[in-house]
Homo-oligomer: A and B are copies of this chain.
Amino acid sequence: MKTDSSTTYEWIKQLQTCGYRVTAARQTIVELLVSSTHALSPIEIYDLGRKEYPALGLVTVYRTLERLDELGLIQRVHMPDGCHRYLRATQGHQHLLLCTCCGQVEMFEGDDLSKLTQRVEDTTGYHIQDHWLQLFGLCPRCTSQSRQ
């Protein structure tokens, strides 16, 4: 089982391997993303990050998110309001399930959209490159709370 700190170390090492420098700002941001159970907005990362490293700038948060996204270490979550949040990427093809109440994010895999994709290609003549699939619902905790 991978601990958060070993993952943090690996991410930093990957940044280094790609020629990026290791900085306090990046370490702070990486630690937050590695250990968070829900998708973080840039502002959240900024606010949480400054508790650890008060000099952190919001712009650096955006720039670091860009790098980590390039390296495939995090993934973007599209929120209904159009803003973005970011989440540790997992290995393999996965999709997201968001709690509409508390924001908790769960991943799931095993969608097989190939039949659907094939049929849509045949019907429309499009050449399909990518897909977005996100599910929305209530997490177990919010479900039981709303039932009262």
Contact = CB atoms under 8 A, between A and B. Distances in A.
Interface of A: 78, 82-84, 97, 99-100, 106, 108, 110-111, 116-117, 119-121, 123-140, 143
Nearest to A146: B127
16 contacts: A78-B82, A82-B82, A97-B126, A106-B124, A108-B124, A126-B137, A126-B138, A127-B137, A128-B135, A128-B137, A129-B138, A130-B136, A132-B132, A132-B133, A132-B134, A132-B135
Nearest to A130: B136
Contact of A131 (B99, B125, B127, B134): B134
Contacts of A117: 135
